Amino acid sequence: MMNAKKKKLTREDAAELYRDLHKTIGRMKEGGQKGGGDAQVAKQIAQAIRESMRREDATRERSKIITDESSAESITQHNSRASHNSRFAFDHSRPNGVQSAVALVAFFVLMKISLAAFEYAGVFNVSTARASLHQEVALSSVPALPRYSEEELSVLKQLDIRRVELREQESQIEQQARELSLKEQEFVVRLAELRELTDQLKISREKSAERRNGQLEQLSNVYGSMDPKESAQLIEQLDVSIALGLLERMPEKRIGQILSLMSAERALTITRMLSRGE
């Protein structure tokens, strides 16, 4: 069985496998970043094979030195038998080191192929699995919330209720402020309209007064140019306020002539109004 294992894997086979892996790493590097993971795995496998070959060479050198020393000093049969056992153990350990490297290579290759097959079939996604692992680690790193007593929980609940009430009051105050602002704007608009109407009414009254004064001035000139007797008869028939307005715009001499021709009662009434400035 041991001879069959030795025939399956020799030092030359291991060296050939190392060269193939070295070439594979070179092709992966030339291929770019897409094969970065495979190149890393192949690089690790190649390093394992190279270390195994170095250990084998060191063991062979040590065994050769021991063999030379035992031949030169002519050790006893017991030592010769022990040296034989050492060489036998070395013969077993040498293929075991190479076999371990090959087994490691086969394990990594099969694992990489299996992962690629599962990912291609949609069984799982490596990036998703890594993200899930990072999330689990992040969640596990979150510190646990402190526990509160019943009194503390009651106080916290009351504070929460009070906070909700304050928010509602704040919302109501903001609503009232908005309503007051709207009413204030409406009041300003109405006040502006009232001022405009007042100004228009004032202008209308001034125009009406000017027009009335103009008419009275014209009538006063007409009655003043008439005969005093005729003028007195017509003015006596008019309303007292109109008669007063006409007489006020006449000269004093004409006023005396017209009043002397009126009835005593009407002349007395107009005289009193003229004296009061009505």
Q: How far is 35 from 19, CA to CA, in rounded Å?
A: 19
pTM for this structure? 0.33
8 A C-beta contact, residue 252 and residue 224: no
pLDDT of residue 17: 66
Every domain of the chain and the residues it spans: 2-124, 162-276
Helix or strand or coil: residue 255?
helix
- Token readout for 11 is 């030092």
Q: How far is 35 from 25, CA to CA, in rounded Å?
A: 10
Q: Which helix (H) or strand (E) holds 61?
A: helix 36-73
Q: How far is 275 from 70, CA to CA, in rounded Å?
A: 166
Q: Please report, in tens digits, the pLDDT of each residue of the chain (278 residues total).
A: 334 444 445 666 666 666 766 666 666 555 554 445 555 655 666 676 677 677 777 777 777 776 666 555 554 555 555 455 555 444 544 555 556 766 777 777 677 676 665 565 555 454 554 555 455 545 555 455 567 788 888 899 999 999 999 999 999 999 999 999 999 999 999 999 999 999 999 999 999 988 888 888 888 888 888 888 888 888 888 888 888 888 888 888 888 888 888 888 888 888 888 887 65
pLDDT of residue 89: 47
Q: What is the DSSP letter of 227?
A: -
Q: How far is 271 from 278, CA to CA, in rounded Å?
A: 11
Residue 21, number of CB atoms within 10 A of its CB: 21
Any long-range contacts for 77-84 (C-beta under 8 Å, 24+ apart)?
none
